[in-house]
Amino acid sequence: MNFASIWKLPVFFACENNQYAEATPSWYAVSVEDIADRPASYNIPGFIFDGMDVFQVYEAQKKLLLEQEKDLGPNIIGIKNLQIPWSFSCRSN
């Protein structure tokens, strides 16, 4: 991200956040509320969307990509969704 910011590369980052790192909730292990806020320190604009609303994410990506063609420089979107409870294997049998 630092390299993309310094050189104003037209990179589009998408960060899917299911709010867990395997079995650890992100509120317990991450110092910021939204992971997509971290690139602000590299002067990269970040936007956060509800990943459960496919149409909102699609429209947001389309809009940002069109703006990025004019502007150049990196962007990031944070897509918040929910982890399916049975999707990890840290369970006892």
User: For position 92, what pLDDT does the model report?
Assistant: 55
The string of pLDDT tens digits covering residues 13-63 is: 888 888 887 778 888 888 888 877 888 889 988 888 898 898 998 998 888
Please report whether residue 14 resides in a domain: yes
The string of pLDDT tens digits covering residues 61-93 is: 888 888 888 877 888 888 888 876 655 555 555
User: For position 88, what pLDDT does the model report?
Assistant: 56
User: For position 2, what pLDDT does the model report?
Assistant: 92
Please report whether residue 88 resides in a domain: no
Which residues fall within 8 angstroms of residue 46, CB to CB, at 6 or more apart?
A: 34, 36, 37, 38, 39, 40, 75, 76, 77, 78
Please report whether residue 89 resides in a domain: no
**What is the C-alpha to C-alpha distance for residues 63 and 26, in angstroms, rounded to an integer?**
28
The number of distinct structural domains making up the chain is 1
Residue ranges making up the domain that contains 27: 2-80
Please report whether residue 37 resides in a domain: yes
